[in-house]
């Protein structure tokens, strides 16, 4: 009984709600300060959750880590980022196949799109990503990895 109560307080729905709330707060702050609201919402939500877990990483790593979510529609990016973070905490409560597919589809739709800052950041970060420990990178399908590597060779020389 107590476990069920605690799971309700700190379970996946509570985590999703907290992530959405954090995203929305950072999104509104960005709008008020003429900043990019989607990136700020994603960045703020991820950084807040990591701070809560005493996981401190650099701004550059945060930007790379949110990049596939920034390539999605804003509501999808927010919700999939929440599931990504919750996967790190309670993996058996998250639909991994759905999350992995969403990340792969987002990248596939942006391949070669040099007008997308998030995709350009990924391309520039390929050498780093391969040993970074950013979880979603290991979930990419072979076609996405191959395309990112080809774009990196073309762009970075």
Q: Does this model's pTM top 0.75?
A: yes
Instruction: Determine the pLDDT at residue 8.
Output: 45
User: Given this model, what pLDDT does residue 10 score?
Assistant: 64
pLDDT tens, residue by residue, 45-76: 999 888 877 877 778 888 899 999 999 999 99
For 125-151, the pLDDT digits (tens) are 887 887 778 899 999 999 999 998 888
Distant-in-sequence contacts of 106-114, Cβ < 8 A, 24+ apart: 106/68, 106/69, 106/71, 106/72, 107/68, 107/71, 107/140, 107/144, 107/147, 107/148, 108/143, 108/144, 108/147, 109/71, 110/71, 111/144, 111/147, 111/148, 111/151, 112/147, 112/151, 114/155
């Amino acid at each position: 009984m107590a476990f069920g109560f605690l799971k309700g307080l700190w379970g996946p729905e509570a985590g999703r709600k907290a992530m959405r709330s954090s995203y929305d707060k950072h999104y509104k702050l960005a709008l008020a300060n003429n900043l990019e609201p989607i990136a700020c919402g994603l960045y703020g939500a991820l950084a807040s959750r990591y701070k809560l877990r005493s996981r401190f990483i650099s701004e550059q790593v945060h930007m790379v880590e949110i990049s596939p979510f920034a390539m999605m529609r804003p509501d999808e990016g927010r919700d999939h980022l929440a599931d990504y973070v919750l996967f790190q905490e309670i993996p058996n409560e998250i639909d991994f196949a759905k999350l992995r597919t969403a990340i792969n589809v987002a990248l596939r739709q942006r391949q070669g799109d040099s007008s997308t800052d998030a995709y350009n950041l990924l391309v520039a970060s390929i050498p780093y990503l391969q040993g970074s420990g950013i979880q979603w990178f290991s979930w990419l399908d072979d076609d996405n990895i191959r395309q990112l590597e080809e774009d990196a060779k073309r762009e970075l020389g």
